[in-house]
Amino acid sequence: MMQKNETAIVKIEDIGVNGEGIGKIDGYTLFIKDAVIGDVVEAKVMKAKKNYGYARLMKVITPSEYRVEPKCMFARKCGGCQIQEMTYERQLLFKQNKVRSNLERIGGIAPELLEQTMEPIIGMEKPFYYRNKAQFPFGTDKEGKPITGFYAGRTHDIIANTDCALGVPVNQEILELVLDFMKKYHISSYDEKTEEGLLRHVLIRFGFITKEIMVCFVINGTKIPHSEELIEKLIKIEGMTSITISPNRKRTNVIMGETYEVLWGQEVITDYIGNVKYQISPLSFYQVNPVQTEKLYGLAMEYAGLQGQETVWDLYCGIGTISLFLAQKAKEVRGVEIVPQAIDDARHNAEMNGIKNVEFYVGKAEEVLPEYYETYDREHPGDTARADVIVVDPPRKGCEESLLKTMLDMEPERIVYVSCDSATLARDLKYLCGIGEEDAQESRRKYKLVKWRTVDQFPMSVHVETCVLLQRRTM
């Protein structure tokens, strides 16, 4: 065991879940922020546990062959880009290996099967300036001037920066304009400690296809003084479509308020994924990387193997992004989402695109699907509710066991699992494939892994999306 304040020379062998470099000294594991795979570094232990510790990077003794100069000068301080100092090619390999490791270690899937079924990761040709949405907090510097930027890692300390390398370039123009307005009229930034001040955040959305821009101010109040001048300046920016405010007076880490009010223009902007058009409000969930989202949904469509006669359930459907994609090739699609406004958006998006073979349900997927299955069984004696394909795209916590059980009971030909967290994905696949079950429960082993592929939705971060195809076994 190492002690606090002890220093060591460490070779970095891996990257942790939060982007820290991982190295070992005589079997003792150290997590070192800002270290890259292949680096040899000097590190100082800041917190020591029995079998592992957290250390501060003091200096890089031998740089890794994968180390690069970051595009952003704040990359090490900011909490948004954990691995920007590593070559993009090595980032992709790290992400694919991370998913494969979790599927093997947590899911119990044999390494040989993983190798046979793995398809190469889908990366980006241009892995910067890809985000269509950004939320910038406001604060105050030591001189009392308003600032905006992003939070430093694991803190709410704002790093003043209006030029994020992941967001679209127009963000900087908007932020500089707003800061100048705040200085001119002494508009205060919100202070989390005192709960005073007006401007909390600004949300900026950008339509990559339509070039439409949305700006929404989250405020600790009901109005922005002199807002007419702010609007006058903003609408001169090409593409400006929607300017809104969202009151939020709660002491909370939730950024947006529960409602919003239009100050100018429309309450939504539009954009496309493939040839499907979507309307996006300030409160809508919408994938932040449209280029990779089209690839991810295209992959889900490919894995679903639709021929035009299938009934498809899309669980955790949000505003219907995947549902409407699938509806183009399915007989009918049924989407489930817990957020009522998201379902309102989904229905509107379906109507706007002239898609009529889709139906949406408000509620928890783990309640709606089991209830549908049980009700159908009672109302149709001798028959059983079936789905040809079930597509599931849950939050990071994955699916509840009750939902997984119903999915197995419905016996779809294929299950397409889209995941943003490979650890919970691995856990759920273990259940769906009956891995580790005794022979007495052979009936649980209904599905087999056919193929899986990762999609890099979030370059420069440790996060990655995974799409998996399970096929029903013929017993």
Whose CA is closest to 464, among 14, 20, 31, 121?
121
DSSP single-letter state for residue 280 = E
- β 21-25/7-15 pair status: antiparallel
**Distance, C-alpha 416 to centroid of its chain:** 18
Strand order, beta sheet including 213-219: 158-160, 146-151, 133-140, 199-206, 213-219, 240-247, 261-265
Distance CA 123, CA 36 (A): 20
Q: How far apart are CA 466 and CA 422, in angstroms?
A: 7
For 245, the token pair is: 């405010």
Q: Which residues pair with 272 in a beta bridge?
A: 277
| DSSP for residue 61 | E
Annotated catalytic residues are 420
Classify residue 68 by burial, with Cβ atoms within 10 Å: 0-12, 13-18, 19+. Answer: middle
User: In the 8-state DSSP scheme, what is residue 239?
Assistant: T
On the 0-12 / 13-18 / 19+ scale of CB atoms within 10 A, 420 is middle
Q: What angle do CA 15, 466, 349 make, to 5 degrees?
A: 130
What's CA 384's distance to the chain center, in Å? 35
Extract the tokens encoding 154: 């694991």
